[in-house]
Structure 1
Amino acid sequence: MSDSATAHKPVRVMLWGLPRSLTTVLTKCLSYVDGIYVIHEAFGSVTFTGPENKIKKGGEGLKSFMENAATISDANVEVQCWEDNICTYQWVKDTMEADYPGKEIIFCKDVVTSIPNHLDMIPRGFRHTFIIRHPTKRTFSHLAFKVISSTWKLGWKQNPFQIMADLVKHLKEQGEELFPVIVDADDLQNHPASILRQYCEAVGIPYNDSLLQWEAGDDIIKKNWYVSKTLMLGNTIGNYYGAALSSTKFNPASEPPLTAEIPQVVVRLSEQDMPYYKELYDMRLRP
């Protein structure tokens, strides 16, 4: 048998989500699996910081934020980073499909709103998974980060949950094996052992109960994450990964805030999202 036939192929997993949906917490948790290598929000970086970015079409607050982030000294950035000027859709696809000798799992976490007009750039050989969160919770949390919320001005023709539902449909039409794998954030928080075990078994990641608790801080991402330099520098301004990086476990989920307690923009956006959220929710892993 030839060497190429016996060559080791790592498990490759895509985690698609939306901001403020526990995607980074789940990614941090799985970062403790032996032999894993994490490519963090590469398509999202194309959208926000790469030469093909959509910020040119709107979102001036976010554009200013990213420009400020790019001016921060990178002396303290210890994570393996890529430079923005190379981050195109083709570069991301090639990077995700590349060989990684010695790695057992290539885990790519990304923003689902970055891919709808570039479905031909979806990397081959991946098991695609999704995480969803109740729209009221997600949107309310999103609104708290005023810079991040400027992404609403980027001119998406569909709402975010519709984009996710359409991607699920597209992948099913492509005959995606072992699909769909959809996790609801509340289920993950309230039943972490059951949901995480099912998720790992579905995609080929080794599971053990040690994954239910981890260390606070960013030491693990310094070890095996690959991420945009501007995104990491921007975190020093926006602290958008603060809660995720300081986490040590999946905490029980809270109830959605009452309608009377939240801004009308959250109510309106949540109502638009709910039909697509329910469609995805019905396909989720059950506790």
Structure 2
Amino acid sequence: MLSSEKANRVRVIAWTVPRSASTVFMKSITANGDVKGYLEPFTTAEHFGPEGRLKPREEVPAEPTYTVEAVKEWLEAEDTSERSVFVKDLAYAVDGRYHVMPKGYRYSFLIRKPISVFKSYYRLFSRMPGDPEQNLKDWLPKDVNIFKCLSDLVGYVESTLKEDFCIIDSEDIMKNPAEMMKKYCDKVGLIYNEGLLHWEQGLPEEETWVVGDAVRAAEADFKWMENMTKSTGWGVGINHPPVQGEEFPKVVYDLAEAALPYYDHCRNHAKCINLDQQL
């Protein structure tokens, strides 16, 4: 059960969708050094692991130790004697195999408006080699609505596991980082202070963030997380802000339209904390 009472040490997992400012969110959570982070371990298994359901890109190495069962064991073995533990991962990576979700974690969900997500995705692939529209189609799981995966996972945690949880919108955080980060920490039991609003540039070292070699290699080549690595706070130092008058292909709007009902379900859920709520 989540509580407004702050615990000294907790284990928290935030399920999300790609391009939701979730890596900046994780950087914020771990900024003061009191929290150990895991960056998308299930997604690493899904894209690069030996049992992954998605074909890895040829440009990055495989991850032979990353199976979903191994990730579950690693996370359940984490203790909180020295630091809290925070895991950020993508809901589609566990879609259809919820049995691998680690026990002993407090659940949360990070959402973002679908049109912002898919424009950001297209903008990312426009900076990479190849056709951005085809890259977008190839990277996402085929015939899978990533927002439906997130909404379905909310339903599973609520109705099957009957665990408490919270939902937070990254666009609310961007509007008022101090208020929203405080509300989130209060809900999941992490300790909030102003140190969560500012950080050093770069991808944290392994002792702070557990990150697969494939992910670090992909970041070095493609700069997927450049908005996070170049930032020094929420909205500070972002390298690729939206450009007025940008044009996007039809697939971006089609994906956003298909995702909107599932985003709305999460956004309007009673467990969604927002700027209008009192602490």
Shorter-chain TM range is 0.7 to 0.9
Partners of 2:201 and 2:245 lie apart in 1 by: 33
Paired with 1:260 and 1:213, the residues of 2 have a C-alpha distance of 30
| Unaligned ranges ≥5, structure 1 | 1-7, 57-62, 71-82
Letter in 1 for 2:136: S
Which residue is equivalent to 2:91? 112
Q: Partner letter of residue 202 of structure 1?
A: K
For residues 80 and 266 of structure 2, the distance between their equivalents in structure 1, rounded to whole angstroms, comes to 35
Structure 2 CA distance for partners of 1:201 and 1:101, relative to 1, 3 Å: closer
SS at match of 1:215: coil
1:26 alignment partner in structure 2: 25
2:175 to 190, 196, 207: 190
Aligned-partner SS, 2:85 = strand
Partner residue, 2:227:
243
Identity in percent? 28
The answer to whether the aligner puts 1:203 opposite 2:188 as a matched pair is yes
Shift of 1:124: 0.5
Structure 2 distance, partners of 1:270, 1:256, is 17
CA shift in 2, pair 1:153/1:141, >3 Å: closer
User: Which whole-Å CA distance do the structure 1 matches of 2:194 and 2:31 have between them?
Assistant: 12
1:278 corresponds to: 264
Q: SS at the partner of 1:19?
A: coil
Deviation, structure 1 residue 286? 1.3
1:171-204 CA distance string (max 9 Å, x none): 001344432x111111000011111001001111
SS in 1 for 2:220: helix
The residue correspondences of 1:141-180 to structure 2 (distance < 5 A) are 141-146=120-125, 149-151=136-138, 154-156=141-143, 158-179=144-165
CA drift of 1:84 comes to 1.2
**Match status 1:234 vs 2:233:** no
- What are the Cα deviations for residues 68-104 of structure 1, in whole angstroms up to 9, with x where unaligned? 222xxxxxxxxxxxx8111111101000100436433
Contact 2:22 2:88 in 1 (8 A): yes
How far 1:150 moved relative to its partner? Answer: 4.1
Residue 127 (structure 1) aligned with residue 106 (structure 2): yes
RMSD of aligned C-alpha atoms? Answer: 2.7
1:140 aligns with 2:131: no
Instruction: Report the structure, 1 or 2, having the larger helix content.
Output: 1
Once the two structures are TM-superposed, the CA of residue 257 in structure 1 deviates from its matched residue by 8.6
**Mapped contact 1:33–1:206 kept (Cα < 8 A):** no
Conserved in 1, the CA contact under 8 Å of 2:10 and 2:80? Answer: no
Relative distance call for 1:101 and 1:119 in structure 2 (3 A) is closer
Matched, 1:213 2:192: no
Contact 2:20 / 2:117 at 8 angstroms: preserved in 1? yes
> How many equivalent residue pairs?
257
